[in-house]
């Protein structure tokens, strides 16, 4: 029951999977014994307490029994197709991962990682044990900060309207039109280059304080709005003690960039979602990084 403290410290490694009417939602992997049970506010409201499932001597998974009636593949697909349900599921997942991270480093798993019972979960997770060990070491004592850089678009970015009464016969009007178009295009390109340079300065400033960084794919204008073009959507892995330094540096960089209509948005600290994937070969270039979905 949620709210009632369990006397057993998490789940034992040989606890059988008994309840066929439930599924196991896995939030994250953390150190064994990091906690016994999260407070009742954690986890999905329909499920049981959030506990640990022992994987090996050192690692456990942060898990919750959830009823199949709400979390079967079919039902969950329908639920996640609803914007409200998707948001609430995502926030629950995030809240729980973040709560677990208060007890030590965690490796978050993607939303809706569900298994038919503990045995199946343990088998799947144990196949990746070396990776989880490495990932926990990588993020220990560190947190993720998100930095987005956007260029505010102005009216000059839109193409000038074509001359209404010059259907091609009036060469003078056509040339004037083209000149205007080229002028605006030059201006647009210059603004863009200036903004990209500002984003690069922000990136360099943040990188100097970060242990690692990842370039995620920028958000599209559908999200940012037509009046803003996102140039950079980066995540930085930062030692916990350097967060204030990072904030100071980014504030300065943001103030410098503001004159060029460039906006710097910072959020954090995040649980290090962006730094738990296996470190790839050197071909993990910015072109590829962040494009994995």
Partner 1 sequence: MSAAGSGVVAWSGPEAGAPIGVPLVDLLDRVLGTGVVISGDLVIAIAEVPLIRLSLHALLASVSERVPAPWSDGGPL
**What minimum distance in Å lies between the beta carbon of 278 and partner 1?**
7
According to the binding rule CB under 8 A, does residue 35 interact with partner 1? no
Q: Which of residues 179-198 bind partner 1 (CB under 8 A)?
A: 192, 196-198
> What residues have CB less than 8 Å from 129, skipping those under 6 apart?
55, 56, 59
Q: What is the C-alpha separation between 115 and 138, in angstroms, rounded?
A: 26
Beta carbon nearer to partner 1, 50 or 99: 99
According to the binding rule CB under 8 A, does residue 64 interact with partner 1? no
**What minimum distance in Å lies between the beta carbon of 238 and partner 1?**
12
Beta carbon nearer to partner 1, 212 or 239: 212
Q: Which of residues 86-105 bind partner 1 (CB under 8 A)?
A: 86-87, 90-91, 93-95, 98-99
Beta carbon nearer to partner 1, 46 or 265: 265
Q: Residue 236: helix, strand or coil by DSSP?
A: strand
According to the binding rule CB under 8 A, does residue 273 interact with partner 1? yes
According to the binding rule CB under 8 A, does residue 217 interact with partner 1? yes
Count of other CB atoms within 10 angstroms of residue 283: 7
Comparing C-alpha atoms, which of 82, 53, 74 is closest to residue 65? Answer: 53
Tokens 């009417």 belong to residue: 21
According to the binding rule CB under 8 A, does residue 239 interact with partner 1? no
Q: Is the omega angle on the peptide bond into residue 269 within 30 degrees of 0, that is, cis?
A: yes
According to the binding rule CB under 8 A, does residue 50 interact with partner 1? no
**What minimum distance in Å lies between the beta carbon of 70 and partner 1?**
13
Beta carbon nearer to partner 1, 51 or 234: 234
- Please select the residue that binds partner 1; options are 34, 63, 215, 238, rule is CB under 8 A: 215
Q: Which of residues 119-178 bind partner 1 (CB under 8 A)?
A: 120-121, 124-125, 128, 131-132, 135, 146, 149
Q: What is the C-alpha separation between 270 and 143, in angstroms, rounded?
A: 6
- Please select the residue that binds partner 1; options are 39, 45, 69, 73, rule is CB under 8 A: 73
Phi–psi pair at 14, nearest 5 degrees: -110, 15
Stretch that binds partner 1, among 51-59, 172-180, 182-190, 219-227 (CB under 8 A): 219-227
| 59-67 vs 114-115, strand pairing mode | unpaired
Phi–psi pair at 214, nearest 5 degrees: -135, 135
According to the binding rule CB under 8 A, does residue 51 interact with partner 1? no
According to the binding rule CB under 8 A, does residue 22 interact with partner 1? no
Phi–psi pair at 63, nearest 5 degrees: -130, 160
Q: What is the C-alpha separation between 261 and 256, in angstroms, rounded?
A: 10
Q: Residue 160: helix, strand or coil by DSSP?
A: coil
According to the binding rule CB under 8 A, does residue 277 interact with partner 1? yes
Stretch that binds partner 1, among 32-40, 111-119, 173-181, 182-190 (CB under 8 A): 111-119
Q: What is the C-alpha separation between 276 and 139, in angstroms, rounded?
A: 8
Q: What is the C-alpha separation between 51 and 66, in angstroms, rounded?
A: 12
- Please select the residue that binds partner 1; options are 34, 38, 199, 205, rule is CB under 8 A: 199
Stretch that binds partner 1, among 50-58, 165-173, 174-182, 257-265 (CB under 8 A): 257-265
Beta partners for residue 237, in sequence order:
144, 212
């Amino acid at each position: 029951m949620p709210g009632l403290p369990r006397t057993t410290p998490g789940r034992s490694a040989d606890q059988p999977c008994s309840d066929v009417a439930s599924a196991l939602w896995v939030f994250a992997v953390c150190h064994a014994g990091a906690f016994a049970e999260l407070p009742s506010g954690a986890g999905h409201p329909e499920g049981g307490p959030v506990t640990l499932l022992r994987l090996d001597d050192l690692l456990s998974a942060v898990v919750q029994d959830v009823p199949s009636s709400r979390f079967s593949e079919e039902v969950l697909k329908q639920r996640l197709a609803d914007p409200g349900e998707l948001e609430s599921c995502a926030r629950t997942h995030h809240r729980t991962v973040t709560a677990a991270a208060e007890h030590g480093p965690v490796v978050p798993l993607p939303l809706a990682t569900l298994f038919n019972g503990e045995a199946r979960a343990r088998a799947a997770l144990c196949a990746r044990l070396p990776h989880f060990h490495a990932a926990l070491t990588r993020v220990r004592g560190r947190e993720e900060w998100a930095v987005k850089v956007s260029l505010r678009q102005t009216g000059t970015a839109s193409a000038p309207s074509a001359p209404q009464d010059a259907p091609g016969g009036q060469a003078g009007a056509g040339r004037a039109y083209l000149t205007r178009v080229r002028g605006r295009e030059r201006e647009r390109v210059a603004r863009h280059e200036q903004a990209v340079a500002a984003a690069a300065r922000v990136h360099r400033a943040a990188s100097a304080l970060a242990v690692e960084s990842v370039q995620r794919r920028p958000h599209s204008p559908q999200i940012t709005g037509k009046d803003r073009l996102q140039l950079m959507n980066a995540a930085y892995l930062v030692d916990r003690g350097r967060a204030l330094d990072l904030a100071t540096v980014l504030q300065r960089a943001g103030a410098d960039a503001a004159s060029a209509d460039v906006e710097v948005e910072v959020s954090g600290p995040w649980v290090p979602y962006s730094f738990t994937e296996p470190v790839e070969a050197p071909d993990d270039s910015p072109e590829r990084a962040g494009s994995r979905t």
